[in-house]
Structure formats: C-alpha cells, structure tokens
Chain A
C-alpha cells in the first residue's frame, strides 16, 4: 500500500477539512451558490464533509434577475432533490428599494450591483461566514487571497493587511459585525474542477455542454440572446453551436463555439484552450485591477 493521495484526493481532503472547520468555528455559516460549476463542486464537497448528516448551513443565491433560466431550473431541482435550505437575495429588490441604480446602455450589467445585495443578505441573515467557490487560478488578485478571508464591518477586503495563514491552522476570530468569506477550493485549477466532476460524475446545468443557441456577437464576445439583452441595430441574431465555460449573469457571460457535448470532450477542450475561462467574462475586462477593486468593496 502506497501512503499517498492523488492530487484530486488531496484537494478534496483539503476542501472537506476547510468546510468542516467553518462549521466548527462559526455560528452561522452559509454557502454562496451561483449554479455555476465551482459552487456546485463546493456543494458536493460539503455533502461529503458531513455525510451521513445533512449539510448544516443554507445555500445563498444572489439572483441578478438576469440569470440563464437553465441555471435557475438546475438550482431549484437540486434544492428540491436534496432537501436543503435556499435563501435568495434579489438584485431586483435592491433596485426597487432604491439601494442601487441600474446601469444603462448596451453593456449594462447587474454584476457590480450584486455586491450590495450580497452584503444586505449577509446582514439580514447575520451570516458570519460565507463560503464560495472562488479559485486562486482564476484571476491575479484572487491568487493572493486567503482560505479564510476577513471582511470588516463594511464587508471590505484589505489585500495589504491580510492575516498570515499558516499550516492548517485557520484563524476565524473576529469582532462583532465582521464576517469571513471562505474559499474551500482555493487551490483547485479549472482543469482540477473538470477532472473531479468527471471522476465523481457530478450533474451540471446543460449550459456547460454544447448546444444550439440564438446568439449575437459584440466586441468579439458571443452573447446569448434574451429579453435582458438589448441589441444594437447592427447586431444580428444567429444560431450557433456553443457552450459556456463559466456561468454568470447572462449580461456578462460569453459563450464559446464548441462541439464538446460531454465531460471528456470538455476536458480535452480545456487542455487545448489557450485563453483563461474568465476571458469570456466582460466583468473582468473593465480594467487591469477590476477584480481587486470589486473585491475591496465586498464582491465575493
């Protein structure tokens, strides 16, 4: 018997350790659930961490109101099947309450507004730790974030003043009103996630697999047609065979043309692709430090 784990087993074990640590150290944790593959993976790992008991925290979805219908259907069926609690924070509600103003114009997105709704939801339910499926390989500001990421009473992240994180000793101590964002799959890469999903046979929304869709092209990005997607006169709807590498809000998530209709083909495609998955996300392209700036304000 060889006493070593494969890289996926080691990553799994690390994530389970972190998730259990969250439940042990915090009073009122939650799992941020977007319906994307990374949050589905986190949910799967959380199930493993507490099996045969149920997961001892709710799922929280910040719904921009501009989600793909496939994502919402997937979310609802998962919640129903496993009997877990789901809390939905609505960006539409934040807009209706006048807390945020909607962006206007063709590239308008509710992505930035999510932060306000997220912080409101955290406050309303008094969550002291929100787990999320962010990974360090996604983006360079995230590469510096801790597993246990401290947020002050305004929900802000201070990248230059992060607590050192040593060994497997996680410091979740905080003052009243402060909270933590916790990232159990920090050390996973896009490839690790896909390989694990294949190996564990985890269900995903159909958006990830190749299908025919009505799309239009803007600034080289393939966007899905939909009622929240205003189009310029020259932007023509056409049918293409596409899939999505990441799933965010419809307004900021681009598709890729792809024939990959199963996990093995997706993995081959990921291995051969020469752009990052966030390359299809217009929210990151606003500036060199777009992610860092959003995170400082409390973005997940």
Chain B
C-alpha cells in the first residue's frame, strides 16, 4: 500500500553516471532498473529480442534498455544524455545517463549540472584511467556534492580485496585535489548484480553498503543553499479581474535561502526596498519558501519589478557586476572567439556579453593549467572573463548553483555553446 500512502514523504534524488567506454555503465543502470522492478515485461521482451538480433554470448544486454536512439543501438554506444527513472519505497530517482566518450564531455557536463550525486564507474582491471580523472574533475567542477566510485567488474579480478584497495588508494590520492566532500567506494559487478541491490556473497571482506542502499540514504536535504536569499523574478502575475483587482505578484522559483513573510527585501537592479507582504500559491499562503520551490511573492509597496529582476535580503546581497570570471565548458564545434560576442542567460536574466580574456585552458586529465593554449574547442574547459551588457546578480557557483551558473549562446545559430560556472 506504500504507493497510495507512503509516497507523500518520498524524496527525489537526481544522479548522473559516468564511466569510460565498456565500463558497464549501461549494464549498471539496466541492473538498477531491473532489480528495482522498474523495467516492465514488454520492455524486457523488446530487449531480449534485440539482444538476440545483435548477437553476443546469449546474455540479455541490459544496455539496450537505455540506448534509445537508432544510431546508438547500431553502434552499441550511448550518444546523448538519457534520463531514466526508478523508485524504491524510500526515494524516487532520476538518472542522467551520460556517455563516456571523449567527444561527449559536453553531455556529461549537461547531466551533471542538475545532479546531486555522481556514480563514476572504474573498471577493476584497469583502475584509474584518463577518463576517470576527467569524470571526477567534471563532477567537482559542476559542484556535485556526493560522488560514489563503483569499482566494477569485480568478477573479472576474482573479487580481489587487494585489487579493490589498490584502486581505492589511487582514487584517494587523486580526489584529494578536488572539491568534493562526500566520496564513497563500492566494489560491484553490475553484470552479475554483486553489491548493486543485493549484498555480494563473494565479497565478505566488504563491510560497506550496497549501491542502492547508499542511493536511498545519502543525506541530500542540505545540498541546496538555505542561507543566501535569492528570488529571480520569472514573470509578473496581474489578473486584472474584479476579484483580484490590485493583485500584483512576482512569480519565480526560489534560487537560494529561506524567504518569510515580513522579510525586508531589496529589488535588484532598482535598489527599491520593501517587505514581503505574502508568499502566495494556488494552494494557499506559504509560510516559508526555500529552493527549489515555485511560488509568488507579494510586496508591501507598489514598486516596479519585472522579469530579470532579483529579490534578495537587504543584508545579504549577491555580487552586482558586469564583469565575470568563470570556468567555461565549451560545447560547440565552432571554437570560443576571444572578443567574440554571445548572448547569455543567467537566472531569469538575458543579456549579451563579450569575451574579454581567455586566461588558460585546463588539461582535464592532469588538471594542469595550459597558460599558452588559448584555443578553446568543443569539450574544452577554460578559465575566462566576460563583460555583460547589463549587470548580473551572481554568487560563486560553488556557493550557489542557481545564481552561479550561466549559459553562452551563439547569436547566429541560437545554439547553447558554453556552460559557465562563476568563480
């Protein structure tokens, strides 16, 4: 009966999965979906049918569940971010399944941008490889708070504790250079199911939790910023009906902090101050609004507020500036142009910008700064400075993802070409 009663206190965990080619990532996801009964009979039949057609050693290829596009099934690789869903009685999960190929770094950045947690797969036979370093760096750069290294294919190294410890030490050394607070290690076999949903009978030496248990229990309630009050205005609600004649509400989604009725607030960029008269919603008045809640703020004073403005607390304001320093992940086949002009989107604000300086490119395998290489191409990560046509209201990305993230758009193609994280 949990479906009709227990669902009212389930949480949502968004995670991303990364691994290099053939690390068994799709198999792991297939395993999580299969063992948590999120795969339906007709899907399973379709996969069984397709497995036979493609050939192989007679095992059902769980990877076929996630490779949704025709060209992916043909090539046997994952091209694009695919979103998958499953639930246990404790949590609902959204998986952003991202490809491990070098040319698809942009997809991992995309998948990681909304994730609370990253699973990084490491092949027990190969240990820490270049792509593990890259995936870890991206997880850290994108501000993912929790990372689980799944040392996979333990069945192929005779479930060796020694081998697992060796890899864990390698990773420990490497991750000390990164900004991730919560790092965990789990030895698994995605193919055979060891330590994924059920405890492995072949690895008694491992005293930790299974992957699913970890996903169900990792503490995520404090991942969002509950300190710095930020409310980007999306749209103004004015019913102009007899019943709601003077109603003027500012609709948006809380991007940080906790707002309460009576709070003294200031509207950026105008600088007008007022108090919150009411936090409104279709379901009635809201006492406290916090991220990622969508609601409507009503202020005591009739002041001019429109889309792109930000309502914040008087005594805790974001940086208001036209100059921004950031790490950018480049996502377009057309290289980043120094002094080039791009459209930008930041919270609910749109503007244009010019690329003022390319400081350095990051070698994402060694994390070294390449000061002399300023040729920023697809899948490169660089530190740049930009100047925007209007001030943006920003926080450091590592402090607040919502107010520290920005996208760059090529004005001739309208494509999103850069993902920026403000420093």
Contacts and interface: CB of A to CB of B under 8 A. Distances in A.
A186 B10 CA distance: 19
A20 B65 CA distance: 33
B4 A162 contact: no
Contact of B401 (A159, A167, A264): A167
B411 to A, nearest CB: 8
Contacts of A195: 3-4, 7
B69 A173 contact: no
Which of A49, A142, A168, A275 gathers most chain B CB within 10 Å? A168
A5 B293 contact: yes
Interface residues of B, number: 83
Interface residues of A, number: 72
A289 interface: yes
A177 B251 CA distance: 29
Q: Is the interface of B mostly helix, strand, loop or mixed?
A: mixed
Contact of A13 (B224, B292, B416, B419): B292
Nearest to A187: B94
A81 to B, nearest CB: 16
B38 to A, nearest CB: 9
Interface stretch (A32-40, A114-122, A266-274): A266-274
A166 B239 contact: no
Contacts of A164: 106-107, 109-110, 331, 416, 419
Contact of A143 (B8, B83, B407): B83
Interface string A161-191: 0111111111101110000000000110101
Interface string A137-154: 101111110000000000
Interface stretch (A51-59, A91-99, A222-230): A51-59
Interface string B384-423: 0000000000000000011001110100001110010000
Contacts of B109: 164, 166
A206 B280 CA distance: 33
B221 A166 contact: no
Interface of B: 1, 3-4, 7-12, 40-43, 46, 50, 65-71, 73, 79-85, 87, 91-92, 94, 106-107, 109-110, 113-114, 220-222, 224, 226, 234-235, 237-241, 243-244, 247, 251-253, 258, 281-283, 288, 290, 292-294, 307, 331, 343, 345-346, 348, 401-402, 405-407, 409, 414-416, 419
17 contacts: A1-B288, A3-B222, A3-B224, A5-B292, A16-B253, A17-B294, A24-B235, A52-B241, A52-B243, A53-B239, A164-B106, A164-B107, A173-B343, A187-B83, A189-B92, A195-B4, A271-B3
Given A24-B348, A49-B294, A289-B69, 15 more contacts: A10-B292, A20-B252, A51-B281, A53-B237, A140-B68, A142-B68, A160-B79, A164-B109, A166-B416, A167-B114, A169-B345, A169-B346, A268-B3, A279-B40, A292-B69
Interface of A: 1-14, 16-17, 20-21, 23-24, 47-54, 136-137, 139-144, 159-160, 162-171, 173-175, 186-187, 189, 191-192, 195, 198-199, 264, 267-268, 270-271, 273-276, 279, 288-289, 292
